[in-house]
Chains A and B, each alone.
Chain A
Amino acid sequence: MTDGTMTKKYLMKDRIKTTFEQKGKKLLNVYFTAGYPTLEATVPLIEAVTEAGADLVEIGMPFSDPLADGPVIQHSGTVALQNGMNMRVLFRQLQGVRQRVPDAPILLMGYLNPVMQFGVENFCREAAEAGVDGVILPDLPLDDYVEEYQEIFRRYNLRPVFLITPQTAPERIRRIDELTDSFLYLVSGPGTTGSQTGQDSTAQEAYFQRIEAMNLRNPRLIGFGIGDKQSFDRACQYAEGAIIGSALIKAMDGVDDAPAAARQFVQSVLN
């Protein structure tokens, strides 16, 4: 399976690396849940947010029991599942997305169980075929990744992204950095997605600076609790960029034209 043709097929572009190299700073990575607010919104939203200036896109794969997510993303996942979203539907939707959005890195984020049931190899193959660049599975343990999945990920040139929190020990951060060839996801503070973690800003600053001083190989994006221009700009002082999820999803709540709302939201963060 590791023959050259297969590997080459998926080696065409390193969109993540290119994006970080070309822009270097103030990168905006947006997260939304596949199949929310409507089943077919996924691809129109990718187009809308990238046109509005988002540099990377994270597509949430909805899960019934999203342990690391706060109420907003939980709700979007529940709606998406009710709308009929699943892995097969998502990969069908993503077919051809690269004709419309050629350059922005697309990452899939979700929980391990649906990926395991789909089959990790199947998942990686379908993702690579669709032009997905990276995968974020917060409940995939590092050791299990190294022992069971790293080779498969590499075969399909999919980049894993791992989370780092204020409690992550320095030697563990080094190990994560070694295993990463994309970017590091800095969780801004204790909490689930969407929570306001920036209460103690001195402690947070110290954390960001401590990581910065480690001179890691990979660039960093800060996520969790970033929700507007002010918090985005602040995060960008300490990292190459930031990730916004819950606030974008909230901005689409109850609107008729979700892509328009998403476009407007992204512009409000960037301008």
Chain B
Amino acid sequence: MATSAFAPNARGYYGQFGGAFIPEMLYPNVEELRTQYLDILADPAFQQEYQQLLRDYVGRPTPLFEAKRLSAKYNTRIYLKREDLCHTGAHKVNNTVGQILLAQRLGKKRIIAETGAGQHGVATATVCALMGLECIVYMGEIDMERQKPNVYRMRLLGAEVRPATSGSKTLKDATNEAIRDWISNPVDTHYIIGSVVGPHPYPDLVARLQAVISEEMRKQLLEKTGSELPNYVVACVGGGSNAAGAFYHFLDEPDVKLIAVEAAGHGVDSGHSAATSVLGKPGIIHGSRTLLMQDEDGQITEPYSLSAGLDYPGIGPLHAYLGDSGRARFIAITDDDALRSVAELSRLEGIIPALETAHALAALDQIGAGPDDVVVVNLSGRGDKDLETYLKYAEKLTEQK
């Protein structure tokens, strides 16, 4: 990817987006990471350990499954990239396995993370247990309530879950608290950020660690369809890590249409939405200049989505650039449409998706794919963590559009 038009420049900019807008207290840590991450990732010993863990611990490669009944319904050829089958139930672990190895090489003893849906928190707690490292996960108080099973899971894995009680008490605030922790612990701590957000080099680091998704897709597509390239790749975007991983090795293939699906919440114009690409303006969040939901005074506004993994008021700078440059198309999906897609995939294919993932599925009737097109949907996670929500909205799940 060294020659990609979509790689960040030396200061971490994708076009006008990216950079590292951090207080001096964070500078040494971020600089340490920036000067070392590429060398560490390129180190054969690192690669060997990373690949081995992806295979033997995460369970990669994940299958690429041809969803025939879903394909019949949408009159196109749909393949599901089964990230839900990763250990811990979502793509998040690809990143945490890589970052824990990185943290070890940086000599860090203590790991912190933020989490929204809890999937990244669980994935972080998991690798910390594996490596015997102390783990603290910040989670918005509201998210702790709506994703209870994941809170229990993290605690069972030996992590400390600290509630974030400021602001909207969701993902953005958990991220603030994690950053404040890092400011307070500048020497022994590594911050495993959970998406392609934050100051440079995080967006690039996390994208590289998730890139295994599209690397596998190309091989699997060649086997199954005779071509490495699909016509469409569809993924949901919270911060954008599963989408970055699913898009990565197709970024420089202009024939592959990239579809990024955001959460519209109650509707893009309802005042209760997380559709950053529509509602955002350039601004700074968590050390990155990107599209950001904010008021006219530059105060960050509180996003809304029923899904805890998508209600982030920004998107990763790569995605802001993909949208700006026209490389990716953004679609926003409401809570209700996502819920219907949960039931649809469950009944048509016997797969219960995460609520985040269901947003990507709900975009299938909007992308314009024809009968001969190959569509890959990145099935970022499984729905176990959302069962309580699904029960609560049981009627909406099965109502017709």
Q: Are A115 and B298 touching (Cβ within 8 A)?
A: yes
Q: Are B167 and A64 touching (Cβ within 8 A)?
A: yes
| In the assembled complex, B223 has its CB within 8 A of some CB on chain A | no
Q: Are B176 and A67 touching (Cβ within 8 A)?
A: yes
Q: Select from chain B the residue with minimum beta-carbon distance to A139.
A: B21
Q: Select from chain B the residue with minimum beta-carbon distance to A89.
A: B297
- Report the interface size class on chain A: 35 or more
| Interchain CB contact (< 8 A) of A67 among B23, B27, B292, B296 | B23
Q: Are A191 and B183 touching (Cβ within 8 A)?
A: yes
Q: Which of A164-172, A205-213, A236-244, A258-266 lines the interface with chain B? A: A164-172
Q: Which B residues lie within 8 Å of A187 (CB)?
A: 24-25
Q: Select from chain B the residue with minimum beta-carbon distance to A163.
A: B24
Given contacts A116-B284, A117-B283, A139-B287, contact A168 B300 (CB under 8 A): no
| Interchain CB contact (< 8 A) of B24 among A87, A143, A164 | A164
| In the assembled complex, A255 has its CB within 8 A of some CB on chain B | no
Q: Are B183 and A190 touching (Cβ within 8 A)?
A: yes
Q: Are B299 and A190 touching (Cβ within 8 A)?
A: no
Q: Select from chain A the residue with minimum beta-carbon distance to B11.
A: A143
| Interchain CB contact (< 8 A) of A65 among B23, B27, B167 | B167
Given contacts A64-B167, A163-B24, A187-B25, contact A113 B19 (CB under 8 A): no
Q: Are A113 and B185 touching (Cβ within 8 A)?
A: no
| Distance to closest chain B CB from A57 (angstroms) | 21
| In the assembled complex, A204 has its CB within 8 A of some CB on chain B | no
Interface residues in A137-159 by Cβ distance below 8 A to B read 138-141, 143-144
| Interchain CB contact (< 8 A) of B186 among A64, A70, A138, A190 | A190
Q: Which B residues lie within 8 Å of A164 (CB)?
A: 24
Q: Are B19 and A67 touching (Cβ within 8 A)?
A: no
Given contacts A65-B300, A74-B166, contact A112 B24 (CB under 8 A): no
| In the assembled complex, B172 has its CB within 8 A of some CB on chain A | yes
Complex Cα spacing A141 to B19, Å: 9
Q: Which A residues lie within 8 Å of B22 (CB)?
A: 67, 139, 141
Against B, the Cβ 8 Å flags (1 = close, 0 = not) of A183-205 are: 00001001110010000000000
Q: Which B residues lie within 8 Å of A116 (CB)?
A: 283-284, 298
Q: Which A residues lie within 8 Å of B186 (CB)?
A: 165, 167, 190
Q: Which B residues lie within 8 Å of A195 (CB)?
A: 184
| Interchain CB contact (< 8 A) of B184 among A112, A169, A191 | A191
Q: Which A residues lie within 8 Å of B19 (CB)?
A: 141, 144
Complex Cα spacing A192 to B223, Å: 53
Q: Are B184 and A117 touching (Cβ within 8 A)?
A: no
A-B contact pairs, 14 of them (CB 8 A): A63-B298, A67-B22, A67-B180, A68-B183, A78-B166, A112-B284, A117-B294, A139-B287, A141-B21, A167-B29, A168-B24, A168-B28, A190-B185, A191-B183
